[in-house]
Chain A
Amino acid sequence: MGIFLKDINLKGKTALITGATKGLGRGAAEAIAEAGGNVIAIGRNQSELNSLGKKIKKLKVNYTSFNCDVNNYNKIKSFITKLKKLDILVNNAGTNIPENFLNVKKISLDTILNVNTKAVFNIAQLCANQIIKLKKKQGSIINISSIFGLVAGQKRTVYSMTKFGVEGLTKGMALDLAKYNIRVNSVCPNIVLTPRTKKYFDNKIYNKYVKDSTPIKKVVTISDVATSITFLASEASSMITGTSIVIDGGWTAK
C-alpha cells in the first residue's frame, strides 16, 4: 500500500514558490513549511521576503529567498540552475488588470501575457530541467490557475486567455514529464480573498456577485488553496497528474 492522507509530510523536500511574498504564494509557502518542507521563496519585496523567512524558520525548516522579478529570465535562470535541492515548484506569480475587451490596453495585454504565461512557462521549464539534473526520483509541479482557466468572467478576456493557456501547459507538461515521474497539476480557485483582492471584496456589489455565483456562499480563503497545493505536492497524490483541483464552492458546476 502507498501513503495515506494522515501520513502527508514534505520532510526533506524542497519547494520553490514564485510570488511568495503575498496572497496565495505566501499561504503556499507557510503550508509547505508546516508540512515540513524547505522553502525557496521568490518575490520582489525584500522586507516581505524577510518577514516570511522569520515565520518559516520558526517551523524549523530551511528558508532561502531570492529577490527577483519573474520576467527577468537570465537572473532567474542563473539562480535555478545552481540549486542543489529541488523537488516541488509552486508556479504562483500572476497578475490581472480587469478591463473590458474592447478597451484592453496594449501595455495591459503585454504585462498579463508576460507574467501569467511566459514567466510561468520559463520557470516551469527551468525547474523541471533542474529536478531531472539533480536525479530526483520524483517531482511535483503545481501551476496556479483559476476558475477563469475553465470558464469566462467579465472584464477578464486576457486573464482567461492566459489561464486557459496554463491549463493546456499543465496537461502537456504532465505528458512530457511523466517518464521522469514529475507530476504536473494545477489548482483552479474561485476569486480568493487576499490582500490584493480585499479592496474588491470591500465593495458590497462585488462581494454579493462573488457570493451569488458561489453555491456554497462562502469566499475562498488562502488556506483553502494552500491545503490543495500541499496535497498535490505530497506523495499522497502520487497518481494525480495532468489535471486540476477546482476550489470554487461550486462556481463552475452550475
Chain B
Amino acid sequence: MVKAKNRKKIGGSIIHMSSQLGKVGCGGRNVYNMNKFGIEGLARGMAVELAEYNIRVNTVCPTFVETPMVKKFFKNKKFKNQMLKNIPLGRVAKESDVATAVAFLAADSSEMITGTSLVVDGGWTAQ
C-alpha cells in the first residue's frame, strides 16, 4: 500500500457501524432504519466538526453478515432466500468483509476519507 504522508500530529479515526439500511428502506425494519439513517447523519455532522482536530468519522454499511444473529434470522428459509435475492453478488457478507473495511478506514491509507460511508453490500443499494 502507498504510505500516507504529512499526517498532522493530532488525529484519529471513528468508525460507526451502520448498515445498508442506513441508505435504503426495508419493510419490517422501520425503527432500525431510523437508527441507522440517524447514524449516517451523525457521522457527517461529527466529521465536519472534528475535522479541525484531524479526526475522521465514517460509517461502514454492510448487507447481512454471517453473524450468529443473522444465522438465527436465516433459519427462516423463505426470509433467507428473499434477502439473498436482493444481493446481486448472491451471497451474504463474511465478518472479514466488514473487518477489512473497518481496518481500511482506521488506517492512514484513508487519511483523506471522512464524512462518508463504505458500503459493503454486494450491490444491494445499487439497485
Listed in ascending order, the chain A residues whose CB lies under 8 Å from chain B are 1-6, 8, 27, 30-31, 34-35, 170-172, 174-175, 178-179, 181, 183, 189-190, 215-218, 220-221, 223-224, 226-228, 230-231, 236-243, 245-250, 252-254
Contact = CB atoms under 8 A, between A and B. Distances in A.
Contacts of B101: 237, 240
A241 B123 contact: yes
Contacts of A238: 97
B112 A249 contact: yes
- Residue among A172, A183, A245 with max Cβ neighbours from chain B (10 Å): A245
A223 B90 contact: no
B110 A227 contact: yes
A166 to B, nearest CB: 13
Question: What is the interface residue range for chain B against chain A?
Answer: 35 or more
A171 B104 CA distance: 22
Interface of B: 1-6, 8, 43-44, 47-48, 51-52, 54, 56, 62-63, 88-91, 93-97, 99-101, 103-104, 107, 109-116, 118-123, 125-127
A243 B99 CA distance: 18
Contacts of B123: 174-175, 178, 241-242
Given A27-B2, A224-B111, A239-B120, 17 more contacts: A4-B100, A34-B1, A172-B126, A221-B5, A224-B112, A227-B109, A239-B94, A240-B97, A243-B118, A245-B118, A247-B112, A248-B114, A248-B116, A249-B51, A249-B114, A253-B44, A254-B48
A52 B62 CA distance: 37
Contacts of B112: 189-190, 216, 218, 220-221, 224, 247-249
Contacts of B119: 240, 243
- Interface SS majority for chain A: mixed
A248 B123 CA distance: 23
Contacts of A172: 126
- Residue among A35, A174, A215 with max Cβ neighbours from chain B (10 Å): A215
A224 B110 CA distance: 7
A168 B48 CA distance: 27
A228 B90 CA distance: 24
8 contacts: A5-B104, A31-B1, A237-B100, A237-B120, A239-B93, A243-B126, A246-B113, A250-B48
A218 to B, nearest CB: 7
A240 B114 contact: no
Contact of B120 (A1, A4, A240): A240
B1 A8 contact: yes
Contact of B104 (A34, A181, A223, A236): A236
